[in-house]
Amino acid sequence: MRLCRFEADGATRLGILSGPDTVIDLTAAGLRPPADLGSLFADERAGLLADRAADAHESARLRLGQVRLVAPVPRPSKIIGIGLNYRDHAAETGQDLPTRPTVFAKFPTTLSGPYDPIVLPSLSSAVDYEGEFGVVIGREARDVPEDEALSYVGGYLAVNDVSARDVQNWTSQWTLGKSFDGFAPVGPFLVTAEDIPDPQDLRIETRLNGVTVQSSSTANMVFTVAALVSELSAVMTLEPGDIIATGTPGGIGAAQDPPRFLRAGDVVEVEIERLGCLRNPVIAHDGKTSEPAEPAQVEGRAL
């Protein structure tokens, strides 16, 4: 099932995608949406909603073009990033494969919708894209064994872990460079876990202005989804709605020669098999949509 949140008639609502271009408005269909994601994923509520939504009246069916999709997860308590989790990405940055997951934080204010603009901050001239496979926690997880970890996943979505490389490298910690407002476009839908039986077998691709710059498979991850959920839950309680951005493949802008950072007027697309495609235009901090800045030279690691 593909869940979405959308704006229509001045309100934000929960919907289910039916077919390629129809959204069923759960409220208009007379189905009371769950209060939170934990309630949605509990006790097979999601499956029951899907079954009932299939019989929704025509008045509850909206064309995708009639609505504005927003982030399918409203406000996660945590957005957890994983660095160097693809072998080709570690190679392009000249670093050894990690023996434990490299973990950093992105704050909830980074969250943005699947088609929202990426705003280039005035503090940075080296903003980069990172197409990533996102994991959404479905129920509270603490000290979860790896062989049980996938049962704690509620669903999956595409993520762009936008990163200001120069700010990221101000210090040994990368949080500031990862956490500008809007630096985590997600969506376009939350695809429930039962529809993705093997999260380690999905194609992932990033395109910049229509040109493919990243192309890989989640099979190339160093640490699997199950391993990440287990490892993280040994340290912190993972809560429903928390997002884990599982790392980016090779092909980031910082690794190109010369580096190719985002410029006003660019369009970044992150597409993951069975999950859909993010499509985010890039604008300057003053709202301009053209005339790129010169590429910056950035020293340090890009994760």
| Distance (Å, whole) CA 186 – CA 157 | 7
Mapping DSSP to helix (H, G, I), strand (E, B) and coil, where does residue 261 land? coil
Tokens of 100: 């434990």
| Mean of the per-residue pLDDT values of the chain | 90
Asked whether residue 293 carries a pLDDT value surpassing 50, the answer given is: no
Share of the chain above pLDDT 90, in %: 71
pLDDT value, residue 174: 92
Q: Tell me the per-residue pLDDT of 129-159, one tens digit each, with 9 for 90 and over.
A: 999 999 999 999 999 999 999 999 999 999 9
Dihedral angle computed from the Cα positions of residues 105, 276, 191 and 25, in that order, rounded to the nearest 10 degrees: 110
pLDDT value, residue 37: 72
Confirm if 101 and 85 have CB atoms less than 8 A apart.
yes
**What confidence category does residue 277 fall into, taking pLDDT thresholds of 50, 70 and 90?**
very high
| Distance (Å, whole) CA 231 – CA 291 | 44
What average pLDDT does this structure show over 257-285? Answer: 97
Q: Tell me the per-residue pLDDT of 20-58, one tens digit each, with 9 for 90 and over.
A: 889 999 888 887 777 677 777 765 555 667 777 777 778
Per mean pLDDT, which range of 15-19, 120-124, 163-167, 189-193 is the poorest?
15-19
The answer for residues whose C-beta is within 8 angstroms of residue 82's C-beta and 6 or more apart is 101, 102, 103, 223, 228, 244, 245, 246, 247
Asked whether residue 299 carries a pLDDT value surpassing 60, the answer given is: no
Q: Tell me the per-residue pLDDT of 190-202, one tens digit each, with 9 for 90 and over.
A: 999 999 999 999 9
Question: What is this structure's pTM?
Answer: 0.91
| Distance (Å, whole) CA 151 – CA 158 | 20
**What confidence category does residue 301 fall into, taking pLDDT thresholds of 50, 70 and 90?**
very low
Confirm if 230 and 238 have CB atoms less than 8 A apart.
no
Confirm if 215 and 250 have CB atoms less than 8 A apart.
no
Longest CA–CA span in the chain (Å) reads 57
User: What domains are defined for the chain?
Assistant: 2-70 (no CATH), 79-284 (3.90.850.10)
Q: Tell me the per-residue pLDDT of 75-101, one tens digit each, with 9 for 90 and over.
A: 899 999 999 999 888 778 777 788 999
